[in-house]
Structure 1
Amino acid sequence: MSKPYIICHMMMSVDGRIACSMTAQLEGQNEYYSALDAIDATTRISGRVTAATEMTSGQTFQAKGGRAYGKNGFAKQTNATGYNIVMDTNGTLLWENEHEAPKPHLIIMSQKVSRDYIEYLNGQGISWIVAGKDHIDLRKAMDILATEFHVKRLAIVGGGKINGGFLDAGLIDELSILIGPGADGRSTEPSLFDGRPADRKPIALKLKSTKAYPDGAVWLRYLIK
């Protein structure tokens, strides 16, 4: 299997919470984005919820026929140097037309996505990957991303479940954490990694580097052992 070098880059509170509305209130926001530039990953992955709130109007696609695509596949609409990748299992989000976009979106979905939605993405000039029957097959999707889209390096900037899914699949090479000087403590809020099965063991890490900032933020980088 081929795959890009994958870095999970996130900002969190000292207790590991990652809700954007909370971390936006902490010192360290500027350092988070400068660190994101420093890790040199022009292709970035977000989840559907993050994309709905930060990248789209939040409106959803209404399929007419309802027939599922039902197979793995992909469409490369442009030769881009980097992509804004969105994991959208069932194919739900509406997008602007992206012909000639300098950094286009690429949507990754499961085979449950409707044929109507695939046609919609093609019409909008948006690249896509379908991998996995009922859920996105992350390993297959990353293989297609490396071999067909020639992505060599990417950053996961999504939510706890996406982070947890990539971690559990053994796909993350490096963890990059910007810790803001603050505590959240709300048990209902997402954490850095969520959703791994209860019988899993902890993933061992090797410290790569640390950097402290005058405002109290700390940047930690780990390699996955």
Structure 2
Amino acid sequence: MCRDAFVLVSASTPEDYLEYLKERNYDFIVTGEEHVDLREALEVLNKKYKARTVLLDSRSGLNEALLGQDLVDEISLIMLTLLIGKEVDTLFANIGKKKPIELELLKCEKLEKDNVWLIYKLKRSSDK
């Protein structure tokens, strides 16, 4: 499922870190001045790699940033038959505090070991 690796950096990324990436043959995309411009990064990713779908397997910060900038069309979740207690960073820790995000269920499939795969479309104000 994983092919080429690349790193997103901004124009303010220190030169020694860029050299570190070059030495290890990591491709990097420079967007934004102080912080990575996620919208532009996705556009470059599409042009350079022909990527139309991006799998995001991260913590809540990047999820929040992409959702907050309206850069997500669908959310695909695999729910495991396992409950985890305290001190767990959730995928959507700070999302919806300003305004809840409504979802529309597109797919629900039972997987092995009673796990479930859910795919949701994000409802936009134009969808209502």
Shorter-chain TM-score: which interval?
A: 0.7 to 0.9
Q: Structure 1 vs Structure 2: percent identity of aligned residues? A: 28
Alpha-carbon displacement from aligned partner over 1:40-73 (angstroms, at most 9, x marks no partner): xx5xxxxxxxxxxxxxxxxxxxxxxxxxxxxxxx
Higher relative contact order (CA 8 A, sep 6+): 1
Pair 1:191-2:74 in alignment: no
* Structure 2 contact 58–91 (Cα < 8 Å) conserved: no
What's the TM-score, normalizing by structure 2?
0.82
* Structure 1 contact 165–196 (Cα < 8 Å) conserved: no
Distance in 2 between residues matched to 1:128 and 1:195, nearest whole Å = 28
Query: Tell me, which stretches of 5 or more residues in structure 2 are unaligned?
Result: 124-128
Distance in 1 between residues matched to 2:48 and 2:111, nearest whole Å = 40
Pair 1:143-2:23 in alignment: no
SS in 1 for 2:50: coil
Distance in 2 between residues matched to 1:195 and 1:141, nearest whole Å = 23
Structure 1 residue 214 displacement after superposition: 5.0
Distance in 1 between residues matched to 2:31 and 2:93, nearest whole Å = 22
Distance in 2 between residues matched to 1:124 and 1:163, nearest whole Å = 27
Pair 1:122-2:33 in alignment: no
SS in 2 for 1:215: helix
Structure 1 residue 171 displacement after superposition: 0.9
Structure 1 residue 156 displacement after superposition: 0.6
Give the superposed CA RMSD. Answer: 2.0
Alpha-carbon displacement from aligned partner over 1:181-200 (angstroms, at most 9, x marks no partner): 232241x32112134484x2
What's the TM-score, normalizing by structure 1?
0.49
The count of aligned residue pairs is 123
